[in-house]
Structure 1
Amino acid sequence: MKLTVIILTHNEEQHIAACIESAAFADEILVIDDMSTDRTAELAQSLGARVVAHPLAGDFAGQRNFALTQTDADWVLYVDADERVNDGTGEELRRVMAEDVRAVYEIKRINVAFGQRMYYGGHRPDYSQRFYPRLAIHWVGRIHEHVESELPVRRMGGSLLHYTYTDWERYFHKFNQYTTLMAERQYADGKRASFLKILLDPPFAFFRYYILQRGFLDGRLGFILAMFHGFYTMAKYVKLHDLTMNGDRNADEDRHI
């Protein structure tokens, strides 16, 4: 049976080489590139990956579904460009394939933020559904996309290292991108943000990350990331409130035309 590792990219020249090298056990490495303007595609091809250019157009689930049509592999493993497959995980994947127990497999993901492994708070290790028979799954969701499948969910051995943030410029770029996408999704779903929500939800978001999830045990960085999670929550709801106000204003103008 054939195993393909799928990597989605956009201007990932900083990460792509180490990511591909960590997945060298695969029969095929497929890179779906969102029209990168740096050396991502060139580096990936030089390391033996097959690169297919395809614009993201704001839809992460659509990009992942497109990737499934670009390979004939029996099983696929999704790895983000800022992730590395840890030693021994390739053997575990092969074992699952040999046993042919068809399922959606969760794999442990260890987050590394600014060079520090995170064990608590919002960046504590988590499990992500990444490995499955290619024809048995479908991705849904514009942001925080997830797999839909009729197969059972199982947890496998092995792990990924996720270099989630390496510099603050990238952190704030993602901060702005994701708060906008989250606000747009919630607005489309009919949700609204009152001033009370803007006032109360951010401090609770900090409390949850820092106290309930013991982010304080990750030291200074645990505090900083918990604080910024509170700001993330506020920014998301402020943007949602702005969309609501603009929508209501446009509706009033339409009624008076």
Structure 2
Amino acid sequence: MAGLRTPKQKLSALIITYNEIGYIEKCIDSVSFADEIVVVDSYSTDGTYEYLLSHPKVRVIQNPFKNFTAQKSFALKQSSNDWVLFLDADEVVTKSLQTEIIETINKENADEAYWFYRQFMFQNERLNFSGWQTDKNYRLFRKSKAHFTDKKIVHETLVVDGTSGILQEKLIHYCYKDYQDYKGKMLKYGQLKAKEDFYREKHFNYLLMIIKPAWKFFNHYILRLGILDGKKGWTICYLNALGVLERFRELKRLEKKNQLAYYLVMP
């Protein structure tokens, strides 16, 4: 019928957390424009859960952490709306990105999902290179048209049934809090990637354990211009390479554990 306007699309902001106090506050503030904010917390011990519980705009649910894909899939099921904005707890939506998100989901010819480029922050300083300059992730999509594949348990992958677009404004990502925090994150990612490899029956290889971390550092620090980020670039590239090394160490541990279990049950 002529003259009728398309109803304004509602948006759910989804976030998963574990010990994110000091960062989650900025994230929540930046998505206050959403119609609903749902946070799935994996039993934080630093006050994150208590902060979220007391926030008037947040619905917080605690769920045990199995892996990133499982946790995000669980969070997705909690959304009341079809349009979903999925963020990490250390990401912030700028005012200009807020405007672009609202305009995008209310377009008549909107795609089913949208990639976001991210501006990485080393504490409060910009990280301009170090392999992250072309980083992009799905962050905005229709729940009815997308799901996280269960083939990956870290660096979760969204499968989209339909077309995708790219937003122009960048998402701010406070990736580096301090040395120990980022190191712990990279080691955890490496261990989860090793589990992926183990389940796919990939075998530990000494040569690859030497080559892959070295290549990661060289690629990000030299080829992807991490050297131009100065000391910040060296630190990030080193710790990223350490995460790759940990992937092989953990795969070796898993294989040894599996072999031991096999011999113990042999008659």
TM-score by length of 2: 0.88
Distance in 1 between the 2:183 and 2:95 partners?
A: 31
CA gap 1:88/1:201 in 2 versus in 1, 3 angstroms: same
- Aligned residues of 1:111 and 1:125 also touching (Cα < 8 A): no
Match of 1:110 in 2: 119
- Aligned residues of 1:82 and 1:162 also touching (Cα < 8 A): yes
Q: How far has the Cα of 1:85 moved from its partner? A: 0.3
Q: How far has the Cα of 1:192 moved from its partner? A: 1.3
Q: Encode CA deviations 1:83-125: one digit per residue, 9 max, x unaligned.
A: 1101211111111122141321001111112332111123335
SS at match of 1:121: coil
With 29-38 and 101-110 compared, the bigger mean Cα shift is at 29-38
Q: Encode CA deviations 1:210-252: one digit per residue, 9 max, x unaligned.
A: 1111111111221222222222222211221222233234334
Q: Encode CA deviations 1:186-228: one digit per residue, 9 max, x unaligned.
A: 1111111211112222222211111111111111221222222
CA gap 1:228/1:9 in 2 versus in 1, 3 angstroms: closer
Q: Which amino acid aligns with 2:130?
A: G
Q: Which amino acid aligns with 2:158?
A: V
Q: What is the total number of aligned residue pairs between the two structures?
A: 256
The reply to whether residue 15 of structure 1 matches residue 26 of structure 2 is no
Q: Which runs of 5+ in 1 are unaligned?
A: none
CA gap 1:23/1:228 in 2 versus in 1, 3 angstroms: same
Q: Decide which of 27, 31, 36 is 2:39's aligned counterpart.
A: 31
With 183-192 and 99-108 compared, the bigger mean Cα shift is at 99-108
Q: Decide which of 77, 81, 86 is 1:73's aligned counterpart.
A: 81
Distance in 2 between the 1:45 and 1:252 partners?
A: 49
Q: Which amino acid aligns with 2:118?
A: R
SS at match of 1:158: coil
- Aligned residues of 1:35 and 1:53 also touching (Cα < 8 A): no
Q: Decide which of 221, 224, 228 is 2:239's aligned counterpart.
A: 228
| Residues 166-185 of structure 1: pairs in structure 2 closer than 5 A | 166-185=177-196
SS at match of 2:16: strand
With 240-249 and 201-210 compared, the bigger mean Cα shift is at 240-249
SS at match of 1:128: strand
Q: CA RMSD of the aligned region, Å? A: 1.8
The reply to whether residue 246 of structure 1 matches residue 257 of structure 2 is yes
Identity among equivalent pairs (%): 29
SS at match of 1:51: strand
TM-score by length of 1: 0.92
Q: Which runs of 5+ in 2 are unaligned?
A: 1-8
With 96-105 and 73-82 compared, the bigger mean Cα shift is at 96-105
The reply to whether residue 49 of structure 1 matches residue 60 of structure 2 is no
Q: How far has the Cα of 1:69 moved from its partner? A: 2.3
